[in-house]
Amino acid sequence: DFGWRQRSVIHVYEGGKRDTIRRKPLYVNLGIQFSGKNMLGGYITIGSKGYFIMDYISTNQVYDITKYTLGTTYFPYGSMSNVDFSIISSNILKRNIFYLGGGKMINNKTGYHVMVGFGNDDKIYRGKDDIGYITFPNKETFTTVKFGLLHNYKNLGLKLDYDPIKEIFTWGLGIHL
């Protein structure tokens, strides 16, 4: 009679009258996610009809900088602001993105969400001048968005996301806690 099996609160008033208020459970989904661009991360969702979602994704490999600086003059303290030669290529060495957002469940199993992401790229630029090739590192910060779907099946959660600005498609698998 005290709501032990179903989440609820029972109010007993002075005249002996009782009210039962049922609460909807708060779902927590914790998982890992992958991307086709060699990225790995994790996510968490908290909520029931409306949910808060947070995820982090990063490149899962360490690049050898000598691969990009071989046969060139490397300037570790160079920057894009004082370049007087043409840039031939740029390669991303490491990328980290942290997303925050919210979503809404369409029914009890499927939901959609929108997230805003804040990230940084460690890049290496390669250029050419009259003497030869020149390389130097550069850090860039950016803001991006991601749209996605979440589907819950029993104790598992499947998450699909797409970031149209950075062109990253991620998929994740999680469990309900």
Q: What pLDDT, in 10s, does the model give residues 115-157?
A: 999 999 887 777 777 777 777 777 889 999 999 999 988 889 9
Distance in angstroms (rounded) separating the CA atoms of residues 116 and 107:
24
Distance in angstroms (rounded) separating the CA atoms of residues 101 and 144:
12
This prediction's pTM: 0.73
Q: Which residue has the higher pLDDT, 2 or 101?
A: 101
pLDDT at 1: 45
Distance in angstroms (rounded) separating the CA atoms of residues 171 and 55:
12
DSSP letter at 63?
P
CA dihedral 6, 9, 14, 15 (to 10 degrees): -30
| % of residues, the chain, pLDDT over 90 | 41
Helix (H, G, I), strand (E, B) or coil at 66: helix
Type of residue at 119: G
Mean of the per-residue pLDDT values of the chain: 81
Distance in angstroms (rounded) separating the CA atoms of residues 98 and 143:
10
CA 144, distance to chain mean position in Å, is 10
Distance in angstroms (rounded) separating the CA atoms of residues 78 and 29:
44
Distance in angstroms (rounded) separating the CA atoms of residues 91 and 12:
67
Average pLDDT over residues 99-118: 93
3-state percent breakdown (helix, strand, coil) of the chain, nearest 5: 5, 65, 30
Query: Tokens 């805003």 belong to which residue?
Result: 116
